[in-house]
């Protein structure tokens, strides 16, 4: 085998390993959250991380006893959020209150995966339907 072929084979092998690693890294939502349960609450958005493959939102939830719990909620990726009009510059405001519904984490850690979110302007964001027409002002 020539030196060129050895280098080419190594490059192809390395790329194959990277492709396999990235496909294994993505997980099914059901593996980490219980999709048979939905928690509904009002919460104050304190942080949003616009990262791929999924965005992360941190909320403060005040319980009936007045205790504040910080929860991290995973949501759709940036491109899917943009398709429904939710982008980092306009739709979600830190320190605003949102009505959120999410699937809770299986491990008991507060938080989970976003199911639905009602924006302050009345629009409803539903992660099960990424059609822009589905994010509409509710009556």
> pTM of the entire structure?
0.72
> Domain 29-134 has what CATH class?
mainly beta
User: Can you tell me the distance from the alpha carbon of 69 to that of 59, in angstroms, rounded to the nearest whole number?
Assistant: 8
The upper half-sphere exposure of residue 15, i.e. CA atoms within 13 Å in the direction of its Cβ, equals: 6
Judge contact between 46 and 94, C-beta under 8 A: yes
Per-residue pLDDT tens over the stretch 67-117: 999 999 999 888 888 877 787 667 889 999 999 999 999 999 999 999 999
Ordered by start, the domain boundaries in the chain are 29-134
* pLDDT single digits (tens) 107-123: 999 999 999 999 888 88
């Amino acid at each position: 085998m020539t030196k060129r072929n050895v280098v080419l084979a190594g490059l192809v092998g390395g790329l194959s390993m990277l492709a396999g690693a990235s496909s294994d890294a993505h997980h099914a939502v059901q593996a980490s959250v219980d999709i048979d349960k939905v928690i509904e609450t009002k919460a104050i958005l304190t942080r949003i991380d616009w990262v791929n493959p999924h965005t992360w939102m941190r909320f403060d939830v005040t319980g009936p006893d007045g205790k504040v719990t910080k929860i991290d909620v995973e949501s759709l990726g940036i491109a899917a959020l943009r398709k429904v009009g939710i982008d980092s510059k306009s739709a979600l405001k830190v320190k605003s209150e949102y009505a959120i519904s999410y699937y809770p984490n299986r491990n008991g850690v507060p938080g989970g995966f976003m199911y639905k979110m009602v924006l302050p302007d009345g629009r409803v964001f539903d992660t099960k339907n990424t059609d822009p027409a589905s994010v509409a002002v509710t009556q």
